[in-house]
Every structure is written in structure tokens, then in C-alpha cells.
Amino acid sequence: MKYLLPNFSHIYIEKDVKDMPLTRIALRRFWKAKIVWIDHYKDIFNRLGQDFQLQKSSMKIILAKKREPFLYGASEMIQDYDNPNTFYNTPVINCLYNCDYCYLQGMYDSGNMVIFVNENDFFDAIEKKILNLEDSSKPMILSVSYNTDLLALENILPLVRRWIHFACKKNGKLIIEVRTKSGLFSSIDDIEPNDNVILSWTLSPQIICDKYESSAPPLKSRLEAIKNAIDKGWCVRICFDPILLIDDWYEIYCEFFDSIFMEIDSKKIKDFTMGVFRMNKDYFKKIKRREPRSEIFYADYQVDNNYISIDKDKREDALSRLKIKLEKKIQNKKILIWK
Ligand code: SF4
């Protein structure tokens, strides 16, 4: 299947969202799918005895109504951009892709995807929050693609498009970040760029894309999408996250930085983020209990507060060496680092 539109065989739909605009779009798009009407998405999504990886190989979608909370404070796992008004939300749970290192496989028992179609309730919650921010001199920053890859779904449902339109109406009081590995910039390239939207691409060296991100688009497609986005004037962030310290990591990442800045003009990139592999310790334990195939889960890690990562000295050394290398390429651009 790789980067094509998946052919969902079943769509589970909460009876309450039958007439929502996004439900109607999904029904038109997947007219061949078997529709199963349900009372609550958790009746399907939270069933006992599910196999995340088995379900990922034949993913079903569930259209549902999100109930409160609609906003979550930025977790310690992400760079919070020096702004206490930073949040994420979950318009979708689970992802079309299936990266080996993804925490979603430890977070949820189900590999199926839940799409919350009551978008106006999300928008209302944001409107209310904007009136009551911790630092009213700064905008609200919202990651809308946190437990998913929202742009990867744009051929299925126009979710990113709707979020962009919403953010643009907030006159600078809201900045949304759409983090992605998708090459589907083409699905939104008719929209006028706006500084209230940051399109953030996660990039990894090709060897890592091949080995650990094989269900996501290759590096080439992501670079193409970035080039098109900056050509059109969009505000673009590049995320080197997670950095994986595989054999010869330093040489691999140095070569990778050299190659991408031969293609992309770093002056046109807003900023960069960098962080090594890390994960909530409970999710990690849960994944490991299932005997995952990826050797990522068999390396040595240390537990620090609530998460696992490689030894602190080792990761700080790796990040500072890579930062020095990156700084030579990007002249005065900001690098946000998770240490
Ligand atoms: S693209 Fe992100 S959310 Fe999707 S599987 Fe990969 S790491 Fe997880």
C-alpha cells in the first residue's frame, strides 16, 4: 500500500455523527466500504485482546465525536518553543504510517484509526482558550498533528485544509503546527500561505527511512514537498527528530545534512528541531512485552522521570556534535533541541 490512498474495507461510525459534514465526505469517498453503526468509538477502539500490528496491516477507520478535553498542555517530550501557551490536540488518533519507533503502538491497543469529525467543538475550545492564555502577550501555539500524521490523510478527508482556514481567521492569536512525513503538500498547495501555520517536516537519512520508517514516504518525496512549500511562501520547520544513534551515526547525519542543504535553501526555513529517540516508559514497556521486530527496543536506555532515552551524557554529546555541524549549514537559524 505504501503512500497510496488506503482502501478501507470497513468504516465504523458513531450514530451521533451520522450527519456531520466530514462523515458525509468519508461516506462518499469510501462508498464501497462496509458501514458499521456504533454507539461509542471506545466500544471498538478499546476492545480487549486487540493486536496493534495485525490491525495496522488492515486498518479500519472509526468516525466519532470527540468529548472533552479538546486541548492538552505540551508534554515534556516535545520542544515547547519558549511559550507557555503551547498545546496539542487530537483530531485523529493513530497514523496511516507505522514507524518502528512510534510511541502510538505503546499508547493504544488498537491499530485502527479514529477520526473525530466534530471539528467545530475543537474550534470552540480553542476560541475559549485564546481568551484565557497564561501569557496573553504571546499567541497560542497548537500542534494539530500530534498523535497522527494529519497531512498524510488529506486525500481522505480535508482536515489540514480546515485547520489552516481556522488558524488564518484568528489574526495571529493562534499558530498551528502541522507535523508530517507526508509528500502530500500538493493537496493543500492551492491555499494562500499564511504565517499562522507552520508546516513541519520530519526528515531522516535515507538509511533510517528505509529501515525504520518504511511505511512513510521516502526522503525524496518529503524534500520535494518542502521545496514546493517554501517556493509557495509557506513557513516551514524541519525536524530532525528522532535522531537514531545507529552505527556510524555521525558520518551518516553529517552526509545527510550536506545533501539536504544542497537541495533546500536553509535561509527559507523558519527553524529546526532536533532530538534523540525517547519514549514514555510505560509505552516502551508495553511495546517490548509484545516482542517487537525492531532492534530499537533492545538497545540500552536509561529511565529518566517518565521516559526512556539513551544515556544522558551520550545523547548530549551526540546532539552538541550534530548541532555544531548543522549550524555551519544554516547560518543563524534557530535550532530547538530536546535534551
Ligand atoms: S509518522 Fe509519526 S505518528 Fe505516524 S507512525 Fe511515524 S512516528 Fe508515528
Cell of 172: 495571529
298: CB partners within 8 A, 6+ apart: none
Classify domain 10-338 by CATH number. Answer: 3.80.30.30
Which ligand 1 atom sits nearest the alpha carbon of residue 180?
1
Domain ranges within the chain, ordered by starting residue: 10-338
Distance 181 CA to ligand 1 centre (A): 8
Cell of 99: 514507524
User: What radius of gyration do the chain's Cα atoms show?
Assistant: 20
Distance 214 CA to ligand 1 centre (A): 11
pLDDT string in tens for the chain (339-residue length): 344 456 788 899 999 999 999 999 999 999 989 999 999 999 999 999 999 999 998 899 999 999 999 999 986 655 556 789 999 999 999 999 999 999 999 999 999 999 999 999 999 999 999 999 999 999 999 999 999 999 999 999 999 999 999 999 988 999 999 999 999 999 999 999 999 999 999 999 999 999 999 999 999 999 999 999 999 999 999 999 999 999 999 999 999 999 999 999 999 999 999 999 999 999 999 999 988 889 999 999 999 889 999 999 999 999 999 999 999 999 877 899 887
Torsion region of 309: left, alpha or beta (phi above 0 gives left; psi -120 to 50 gives alpha): beta
Closest to 128 (Cα-Cα) out of 199, 69, 178: 69
Q: What is the pTM of this model?
A: 0.94
Q: Whose CA is nearest to atom 8 of ligand 1?
A: 102
Counting Cα atoms < 13 Å in the Cβ hemisphere of 44 gives 22
Which ligand 1 atom sits nearest the alpha carbon of residue 96?
4
Q: Rounded to the nearest 10 degrees, how much is the dihedral formed by the CA atoms of 60, 63, 68, 73?
A: 50
Closest to 242 (Cα-Cα) out of 207, 214, 279: 279
Q: Is 99 in the pocket of ligand 1 (CB under 6 A)?
A: yes
Q: Is 239 in the pocket of ligand 1 (CB under 6 A)?
A: no
Q: Which residues of 125-139 are buried (b: 16+ CB within 10 A; e: fewer)?
A: bbeebbeebeeeebb
